[in-house]
Amino acid sequence: MTTGDAVMRRATRAELAGLPVDVAPALLGARLRTVVDGEEVRIRITEVEAYHGRGTGDVPDPGSHARMGRTARNATMWGEPGHLYVYLSHGIHSCVNVVCGSEGVAGGVLLRAGEVESGVEAAVARRGTHPPRDLARGPGRFGQASGLRHPVHDGIDAITGAVQDGAMAELWLGERLAFEAGPRVGVAGVAGTGLFPWRFWIPGDRTVSPFRWGRGAAAAALDTPGVTPVLD
């Protein structure tokens, strides 16, 4: 895949086998290409967040779906890297995560925002009429624009591109870009403070979503020694 001056290559499992917090910045500028019910959409990834499961890395992540261990909901996070963990948020929005880490070690990178580069008409049909920057700005919008839905597309393989329930997905990587990092958006308590600066974004990109504190996170930041609340 060639996009402008950028030459992209298909992602490999080995490239996604590290800790999510280490893999996440490499996904900035990557492309997620989906074909759902015959409609192709390609999204340039501009904002991501890393999440670790129980026993992943040196610091327990209280903000992760897998913080308590394996469940039916988070089972995909414990599988091979390169599959997509598609979960339902607030009972409405399908959100897309790239599974990272070794098989049997839970972790994922939430695709928080992106720019729809091709398939705009399909994205608009799924999302309704919105300014171009907002088509995939935020994880729920990103999931909707991509066409991937929970539960039918949970676990779809973005490395092989195998068809699952009328859909396929491919992850394409390019050169690593400069990035900024800070607290995760809307994550409750200490998991949403500067102790976990695991949100990464492309500086100045118009599709990056606005920051907001999660429940109790601002207070937790003020009460935690050495943590200074930082907004982008």
pLDDT tens digits, 74-83: 999 999 999 9
Burial class (CB in 10 A: 0-12, 13-18, 19+), 21: buried
45 neighbors 27 (Cβ within 8 angstroms): yes
Contacting residues for 151 by C-beta, under 8 A, at least 6 apart: 86, 88
Give the per-residue pLDDT at 232: 40
Mean pLDDT over residues 56-70, rounded? Answer: 94
**Is residue 224 over pLDDT 80?**
no
Phi, psi of 15 (to 5 degrees): -70, -15
Question: What's the token pair of residue 194?
Answer: 């500067």
Question: Hey, how many other C-beta atoms are within 10 angstroms of the C-beta on 25?
Answer: 20
Buried b / exposed e over 168-191, threshold 16 CB at 10 Å, is bbbbbbbeebebbbbbbbbbeebb
Confidence of residue 225 (pLDDT cuts 50, 70, 90): low
Enter the pTM of the model: 0.94
3-state SS class at 67 = coil
Greater confidence, 42 or 228? 42
Greater confidence, 148 or 130? 148
**Would you call the peptide bond into 132 cis, given omega within 30 degrees of 0 as the criterion?**
no
Q: Provide the 8-state DSSP code for 107.
A: E
Rg (CA), the chain: 17
Question: Residue 82 and residue 128: Cα distance in Å, rounded?
Answer: 29
Mean pLDDT over residues 91-107, rounded? Answer: 95
DSSP alpha helices (H): ranges in 76-232? 120-127, 139-146, 217-223
Mean pLDDT over residues 47-52, rounded? Answer: 98
Question: Hey, how many other C-beta atoms are within 10 angstroms of the C-beta on 194?
Answer: 18
